Amino acid sequence: MSETKVYPVDTEFASQSWVDNDTYLSMYEKSITDPEGFWGEHGRRIEWMKPYTRVKNTSFDPHNVDIRWYEDGTLNASVSCLDRHLESRGDQVAIIWEGDDPSEDENITYRDLYERVCKFANALKAQGAKKGDVITLYMPMIPEAAVAMLACARIGAVHSIVFGGFSPDALAARVEGGQSNIVITADQSLRGGKAVPLKDNVDLALKNAGTECCKKVVVVKRTGGDIAWDDSRDVWYEEIVADASTECAPEEMGAEDPLFILYTSGSTGQPKGLKHTTGGYMVYASMTHQYAFDYKDGDIYWCTADVGWVTGHSYIVYGPLANGATSLMFEGVPSYPDNSRFGRVIEKHKVNQFYTAPTAIRALMQQGEDVLGDSDLSTLKVLGSVGEPINPEAWEWYHRIIGQGRCPIVDTWWQTETGGMMIMPLPGATAAKPGSATRPFFGVQPALVDNEGNILEGATDGNLVITDSWPGQGRSIWGDHDRFVQTYFSTFKGYYTTGDGARRDEDGYYWITGRVDDVINVSGHRMGTAEVESALVAHPKVAEAAVVGYPHDIKGQGIYVYVTLQAGIEESDELLKELRTWVRSEIGPIATPDLVQFAPGLPKTRSGKIMRRILRKVAEDDFGSLGDTSTLADPTVVDDLINNRQNRK
Ligand code: PRX
């Protein structure tokens, strides 16, 4: 193995940063030896209505998984993000919105945002929304998405955001799952100059799924494109907020009252709605945002994620706004109008911290070193990476080309379930090693275990678990606590199971090696192979399907599909195309198979279990190490798969 390069912390950077290495070590020590004291102190970084007296009350015992932080405190998340900034920074920009078209942008001050949120909160109440309701958002990346999130929080409603790239069926399942009575959407969204029919998708979702629960659809006018209208159900956002008051008293919420649900994919069954609560989540999102990016007052911070993913929740909206930051929200894509867009936006808005995904970096990297043109990147101070492992080549490119060799990179490992960053360097404290997420954040106790759940010491590989709770942790799966316990706490008893594998090196640095379950990570989007398989077998010509990930230059992992057709159905290029379109329409474009191979048979054990290990090896063209195939019901299937792989497309 080639020797790992180490990028030491710049001493000048360290001297002005929130946390240098000594501070990191002492704060980390305190956070582990005295979590009550540590989090008791840092919990006060957000606004409370009634201060808490209890800090941590958590159990990972599989018979009684129960996670509570600050449980007797009360608060409203929107107050920390809005009200408390009015006096000190009412005229400071809270959200810079950069439209899909570079000629469109908008600056929204904290006062503007406060008023918009209050207006919409009042309008939602007038539409019948109340504390405890689940409200689904299916939105473009426009300021109204953040307004809607905060308005829900204001009235004590629980938002459930569905990424705007999901299909009507996927949306319907999530509306049903939350028994949502209101959906907030837009006529269309715009990405790379193309309109996406959000409202049409909502209509289809509500019709096809027979969702009875949803009574109102609030529609923001984004493009003015043609849409169908149901007078009994649909209302225009602009109309219902027009006369609403700019003041709305915040609902008093318990620290453990839910703030949002967010669906994510697992290795089995339907996506699960992770439940995040209010107090601990806000403390954790704001604290990680401040320290990971070394955020200082007046900095312009840009996270390129979509609010439909957890990164958008914690690091476009809640974390930055709780910190009084200026958070840039980008509607478009990195390749429109051309590949220099990221650079142009950084220059135009004088961005100081930039947070994106390895897949975006690799896509830019392919375009060459001058991809950002003559954009002025000199305002940048810290760069972040999230969503998937960053390969050292992409790290080096990011550092050299975007960071101009001087900006520290924070490679942040975390998950929808964790609410905020868990393992990452702090830019003034941690020497970086390209490809490593490095060390745990305060209060996070990672460990590696073998397949039997024994803790492994020293430099080694293993299953990554977290041995004790942290405030941002998801508390349950909406409506199914047993599944929460089953998924995360029963494999390795007493620990939170991340589903990731990792290596720890001799310096105690963690290197995330990827999922150890049947989840693949496509362009930083998490995809359950079972979801794609069930979409495929729902096609009338498909008898059986197996889906695995394979290494993909830009996406990190691509979706490789093995399909067994029904008897009598001919293989053809048309059918191949049809299957791709089918999966897109069942789940969404992010699930589109990259490679499809027709397979007359799949490798199964005698008990009928598909041996994915073999399918993965064939997909990777790695036949030398297929391992033991003697337990297969029909070992000749493997030769067929290998011989047939030339026909994959
Ligand atoms: O496998 C890990 C990978 O993404 C998974 C979590 O996906 P999701 O819940 O969609 O959240 C993505 C945004 C936090 C993890 O289980 N992952 C995320 N960040 C990293 C990563 N893998 C390696 N390095 C990272 N920095």
For ligand 1, whether the C-beta of 264 sits within 6 Å is yes
For residue 587, which of 271, 212, 219, 196 has the smallest C-alpha distance?
Answer: 271
Confidence of residue 210 (pLDDT cuts 50, 70, 90): low
386 φ, ψ to 5°? Answer: -155, 155
Q: Is 540 annotated as a binding residue?
A: no
How far is residue 247's CA from residue 543's CA, in Å, rounded to a whole number?
Answer: 58
Residue 209: what pLDDT?
63
* Structure confidence at residue 456 (pLDDT): 98
Ligand 1 pocket test: which of 526, 527, 590 has the largest number of ligand atoms within 8 Å of its C-beta? 526
Structure tokens at 58: 């958590």
Nearest CA to ligand 1 atom 11: 415
Which comes out higher in pLDDT, residue 310 or 637?
310
CA of 38 to the centre of ligand 1 (A): 26
Domain spans, the chain? 11-503, 523-644
How far, in Å, is the centroid of ligand 1 from the Cα of 524? 7
For atom 5 of ligand 1, the residue with the nearest CA is 415
d(CA 318, CA 338): 31
Pocket flag, ligand 1, residue 276 (CB < 6 Å): no
User: Ligand 1, residues 303, 414, 423, 433: which to mutate, most atoms within 8 A of Cβ?
Assistant: 414
Read off the pLDDT of residues 278-300 as tens digits, 9 standing for 90 and up. Answer: 999 999 999 999 999 999 999 99
Amino acid in position 446: P
Sequence-ordered list of residues with C-beta below 8 angstroms from that of 70, at least 6 positions apart, any chain: 43, 52, 54, 55, 255, 279, 280, 283, 471
Ligand 1 center to residue 490 CA distance, Å?
21
Q: Which residues is 514 bridged to in the sheet?
A: 501
Assess whether pLDDT exceeds 60 at residue 1: no
The single-letter code of the amino acid at 404 is: Q
pLDDT grade for 63, boundaries at 50, 70 and 90: very high
Q: How far is the CA of 51 from the centre of ligand 1 (A)?
A: 33
Q: Give, for 488, the enclosing helix (H) or strand (E).
A: helix 481-489
Q: Which residue has the tokens 């905060």?
A: 150
How many A from CA of 236 to the centre of ligand 1? 36
Q: Is the pTM of this model over 0.80?
A: yes
* Token pair 């299957």: residue: 579
What angle (nearest 5°) sits at the alpha carbon of residue 363, between those of residues 107 and 377?
Answer: 45
pLDDT of residue 211: 61
Q: By C-alpha distance, which of 171, 184, 167, 182 is closest to 219?
A: 184
pLDDT for 3: 64
Backbone angles phi, psi at 108, to 5 degrees: -120, 120
Of all protein residues, the one whose alpha carbon is nearest to atom 6 of ligand 1 is: 415
279-292 and 35-42 helices, crossing angle to 10°:
80
How many angstroms separate the most distant Cα atoms in the chain?
74
With a 6 Å cutoff on the Cβ, whether 388 touches ligand 1 is yes
| Cα–Cα distance, 59 to 140 (Å, whole number) | 38
Report the alpha-carbon distance of residue 522 to residue 500 in Å, rounded. 15
535 lines ligand 1 (CB under 6 A): no
- Cβ(436) to ligand 1 under 6 A? no
Three-class DSSP labels, 515-558: ECCCEEEECCEEEEHHHHHHHHHCCCCEEEEEEEEEEECCCEEE
Specify whether the CB–CB gap between 322 and 316 falls below 8 A.
Answer: no
Q: How far is CA 169 from CA 71, 184, 282, 480, in A?
A: 37, 17, 31, 21
Residue 453 binned pLDDT confidence (cut-offs 50, 70, 90): very high
Say how far apart CA 575 and CA 96 lie, in whole Å. Answer: 45
Q: Could you give the percent of the chain with pLDDT greater than 90?
A: 91
Mode of pairing for the β-strands spanning 556-565 and 595-598: parallel
Output the CA 419–ligand 1 centroid distance in Å.
11
Q: Is the CB of 306 under 6 A from ligand 1?
A: no
Contacts of 249 (CB under 8 A, 6+ apart): none
Which protein residue has the closest C-alpha to ligand 1 atom 21? 388
- Is 591 a pocket residue for ligand 1 (Cβ < 6 Å)? no
User: What tens digit of pLDDT does each residue of 124-164 get?
Assistant: 999 999 999 999 999 999 999 999 999 999 999 999 999 99
Distance CA(355)–CA(353), nearest Å, equals 7
Q: Cα–Cα distance between 464 and 450 in angstroms, integer?
A: 9
- Closest residue (by CA) to atom 18 of ligand 1? 387
Residue 224 has pLDDT above 80, yes or no: yes
- Distance of CA 531 from the midpoint of ligand 1 (Å): 18
Residue that wins the pLDDT comparison between 609 and 6: 6
**Looking at residues 528-536, what average pLDDT do you find?**
93
Is 105 within any annotated ligand binding site? no
Q: Is 327 in the pocket of ligand 1 (CB under 6 A)?
A: no
Residue range 200-224: mean pLDDT, rounded: 90
The one-character DSSP state at 568 is T
Summarize pLDDT for 404-428 with one digit per residue, the tens.
Answer: 999 999 999 999 999 999 999 999 9
The arrangement of secondary structure in 11-503, i.e. its CATH architecture, is 3-Layer(aba) Sandwich (3.40)
Is the pLDDT at 100 greater than 80? The verdict is: yes
- CA–CA distance, 139 with 38 (Å, rounded to integer): 38
- Assess whether pLDDT exceeds 90 at residue 623: no
Q: Is the CB of 313 under 6 A from ligand 1?
A: no
CA-nearest residue, atom 25 of ligand 1: 413
The tens digit of pLDDT for each residue in 482-493 reads 999 999 999 999
Asked whether residue 58 carries a pLDDT value surpassing 70, the answer given is yes
Share of the chain above pLDDT 70, in %: 99
Indicate the range of 315-324, 432-441, 636-645 predicted with least confidence.
Answer: 636-645
Q: Give SS3 for 330.
A: strand
**Per-residue pLDDT at 647 exceeds 80:** no
Q: In terms of Cα–Cα distance, which of 142, 140, 144 is closest to 123?
A: 144
Distances (CA, A) of 546 to 535, 599, 614: 11, 10, 11
Cα(67) to ligand 1 centroid in Å equals: 22
Look at residue 475 and give its three-state secondary structure. Answer: coil
Give the residue carrying structure tokens 């089995």.
268
Is 322 within 8 Å of 80 (Cβ atoms)? Answer: yes
Mean pLDDT over 261-274 rounds to 89
Nearest CA to ligand 1 atom 14: 415
Of 413, 466, 503, 555, best ligand 1 pocket probe by most atoms within 8 Å of the beta carbon: 413
Sign of the alpha-carbon torsion through 45, 51, 53, 55: negative
Q: Is the CB of 314 under 6 A from ligand 1?
A: no
pLDDT, tens digit (0-9, with 9 covering 90-100), for 472-484: 999 999 999 999 9
Query: From the CA of 417, how far away is ligand 1's center (Å)?
Result: 10
Q: Please give the structure tokens belonging to residue 329.
A: 């929200």
* Distance of alpha carbon 201 from alpha carbon 648, whole angstroms: 32
Q: Is 519 annotated as a binding residue?
A: no
Q: Read out DSSP for 132-190? A: T-EEEEE--SSHHHHHHHHHHHHHTPEEEE--TTS-HHHHHHHHHHTT-SEEEEES-EE
Q: Is 506 exposed, middle or buried (0-12, 13-18, 19+ CB in 10 A)?
A: exposed
Q: Is the pLDDT of residue 38 over 70?
A: yes
Q: Lowest-confidence range among 165-179, 384-398, 622-636? A: 622-636
Indicate if the pLDDT at residue 269 is higher than 80: no
Going by C-alpha positions, the residue among 326, 327, 344 that lies closest to residue 335 is 344
Could you tell which of 163, 288, 415, 500 is best to mutate to test the pocket of ligand 1, judged by most ligand atoms within 8 Å of the CB?
Answer: 415
Residue 389 marked as a ligand binder: yes
Which amino acid appears at position 155 of this protein? Answer: I
CATH level 3 topology of 523-644:
GMP Synthetase; Chain A, domain 3 (3.30.300)
